[in-house]
């Protein structure tokens, strides 16, 4: 026996209520509830076959350990972000703004896997097979082992998977796929949750590496409930501005690798090309001898990246000065300016401050604090920094410069790009010998760093 009932589900967080609400009590979103019809099936007690499982609990010491055999692609940046390549049977979610290059990246990756004799099934719910063929011709990604299907019905998709038996599966996108047994519209919480669970079972049972493309909201988060990110093994965000040529692939969840790695790509007419030396790309247009410009040696996972930080400090007539930051946390900028005013003596109360990380890169590690402080002081005093200086270090509330990790990789990256001096925490110099050919200046306070960088 079955019966239907009506419920309202928040399309942002998945909260269910028996009636419509203007504001979601779970996430606080307005007008996010949508009406959905649920079919309730009554089971005959605990002896129902639906509740039975064939597997039995096994002591963990009796389970054999095995190393996952990863599948490498021709794209080294993608392999780095994934932790060494695709893991068979893994479920990966890729999100990004419209037109950022998600389909281009996955189509190139599919072609790379077909060159190794693997079958790839590319299912598109937003484009026809002719449109996909046009993109494949432009990217030179045509292969007999690449199968393309334009379908949104989950049952038809399962039949295609059973027929092709692919080694790699791409679903573009998960918000367009629907299951006929669920009465709600495609893209709703119920449909996304049901279809994702089906793809998860397919990936695990058939040992198929599956990639789901997800839409993002205007805030940049993947659309739908957070449950979607909890169900998958890996969540990748494709970031960047459509008006710029480069793209950043960042892992925010990875059960098979690190979540600190990033991949840098450059968008060209023939598709996405990996950038092996991102530091050189970010510093290619750096002005020399300009106040407010400082180069920071940052770490993105296991990779050192040199990025330019630009600051502009100007006087204001308003009682409340503005603090704007692009690429770093806004609260971090306010904290560093308070340290400069209290510990160094810079009068910044009547100054507007604008901070930008050149290239659109987002830096979230504490080692960029010292470069931010030097950039602000340089713009305020109208004194340019040395053109071939690199800076890194964490700034404390008492004005001290704290040590950071992996200083040898940061200094070697700066030396490779032709920098002649590095200003870094003095405490990080202990137990480490600087390489020849580059000067290392250790500082213990922000005042010492400003004196070394601006004098």
103 appears as a binding residue in the annotation: yes
CA distance 379 to 30: 42
**Domain count for the chain:** 3
Listed residues 254, 276, 298: the one ending a domain: 276
CA distance 167 to 213: 18
The reply to whether 62 falls in a domain is no
Tell me the HSE value of 86 on the side-chain side, using a 13 A CA sphere. 27
101 appears as a binding residue in the annotation: yes
102 appears as a binding residue in the annotation: yes
CATH number of the domain to which 188 belongs? 3.40.50.300
Mean pLDDT of the chain: 87
Cis preceding linkage at 218, omega within 30 = no
The reply to whether 184 falls in a domain is yes
The reply to whether 59 falls in a domain is no
96 appears as a binding residue in the annotation: yes
Can you give the residue range of the structural domain that contains 133? 69-276
Residue 251 and residue 349 in one domain: no
Mean pLDDT of 3-20: 80
CA distance 310 to 93: 34
Q: Which of 5-9, 239-243, 300-304 has the lowest mean pLDDT?
A: 239-243
pLDDT tens digits, one per residue of 149-190: 999 999 999 999 999 999 999 999 898 999 988 878 888 888
Residue 297 and residue 252 in one domain: no
For residue 252, which phi and psi values (nearest 5 degrees)?
A: -105, -10
Residue 85 and residue 25 in one domain: no
The reply to whether 27 falls in a domain is yes
289 appears as a binding residue in the annotation: no
187 appears as a binding residue in the annotation: no
Residue 222 and residue 316 in one domain: no
Mean pLDDT of 332-350: 93
Contact between 311 and 292 (Cβ < 8 Å): yes
Residue 285 and residue 262 in one domain: no
Give the end-to-end CA distance of the chain in Å, rounded to a whole number: 83
The reply to whether 54 falls in a domain is no
CA distance 252 to 215: 16
> At residue 49, does pLDDT exceed 70?
no
319 appears as a binding residue in the annotation: no
CATH number of the domain to which 318 belongs? 3.30.230.10
Mean pLDDT of 135-143: 92
Residue 93 and residue 12 in one domain: no
100 appears as a binding residue in the annotation: yes
Residue 160 and residue 287 in one domain: no
Residue 286 and residue 211 in one domain: no
Residue 207 and residue 256 in one domain: yes
The residue ranking higher by pLDDT, 218 or 201, is: 201
Residue 226 and residue 339 in one domain: no
Listed residues 230, 254, 276: the one ending a domain: 276
The reply to whether 142 falls in a domain is yes
Residue 146 and residue 109 in one domain: yes
Residue 248 and residue 295 in one domain: no
pLDDT tens digits, one per residue of 113-127: 999 889 999 999 989
């Amino acid at each position: 026996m079955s019966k239907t009932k009506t419920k309202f589900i928040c399309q942002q967080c998945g909260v269910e209520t028996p009636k419509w609400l203007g504001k979601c009590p779970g996430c606080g979103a307005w007008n996010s509830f949508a009406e959905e019809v649920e079919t309730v099936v009554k089971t005959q007690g605990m002896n129902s076959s639906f509740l039975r499982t064939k597997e039995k609990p096994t002591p963990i010491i009796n389970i054999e350990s095995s190393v996952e055999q990863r599948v490498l692609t021709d794209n080294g940046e993608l392999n780095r972000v994934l932790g060494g390549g695709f893991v068979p049977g893994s479920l990966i979610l890729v999100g990004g703004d419209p037109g950022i290059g998600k389909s281009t990246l996955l189509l190139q990756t599919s072609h790379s896997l077909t060159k190794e004799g693997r079958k790839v099934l590319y299912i598109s719910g937003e484009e026809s097979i002719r449109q996909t063929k046009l993109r494949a011709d432009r990217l030179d990604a045509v292969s007999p082992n690449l199968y393309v299907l334009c379908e949104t019905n989950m049952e038809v998709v399962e039949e295609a998977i059973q027929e092709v038996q692919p080694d790699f599966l791409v679903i573009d996108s998960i918000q367009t796929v629907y299951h006929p047994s669920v009465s709600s519209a495609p893209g709703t919480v119920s449909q996304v949750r049901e279809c994702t669970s089906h793809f998860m079972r397919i990936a695990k049972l058939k040992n198929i590496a599956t990639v789901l493309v997800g839409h993002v909201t205007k805030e940049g988060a993947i659309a739908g409930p957070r449950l979607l990110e909890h169900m998958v093994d890996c969540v990748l965000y494709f970031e960047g501005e459509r008006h710029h040529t480069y793209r950043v692939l960042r892992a925010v969840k990875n059960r098979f690798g690190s979540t600190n790695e990033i991949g840098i790509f450059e968008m060209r007419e023939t598709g996405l090309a990996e950038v092996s030396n991102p530091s050189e790309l970010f510093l290619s247009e750096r002005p020399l001898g300009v106040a407010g410009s400082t180069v920071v040696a940052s770490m993105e996972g296991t990779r050192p990246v040199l990025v330019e930080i630009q600051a502009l400090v100007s006087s204001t007539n308003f009682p409340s000065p503005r603090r704007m930051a692009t690429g770093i946390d806004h609260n971090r900028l306010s904290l560093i300016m308070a340290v400069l005013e209290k510990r160094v003596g810079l009068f910044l109360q009547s100054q507007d401050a604008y901070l930008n990380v050149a290239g659109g890169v987002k830096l979230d590690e504490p080692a960029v604090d010292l470069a931010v402080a030097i950039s602000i002081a340089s713009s305020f005093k109208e004194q340019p920094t040395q053109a071939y200086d690199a800076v890194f270090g964490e700034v404390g509330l008492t004005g001290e410069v704290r040590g950071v990790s992996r200083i040898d990789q940061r200094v070697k990256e700066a030396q490779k790009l032709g920098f002649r001096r590095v200003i870094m925490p003095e405490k990080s110099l202990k137990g480490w010998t600087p390489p020849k050919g580059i000067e290392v200046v250790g500082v213990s306070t922000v005042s010492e760093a400003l004196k070394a960088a601006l004098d």
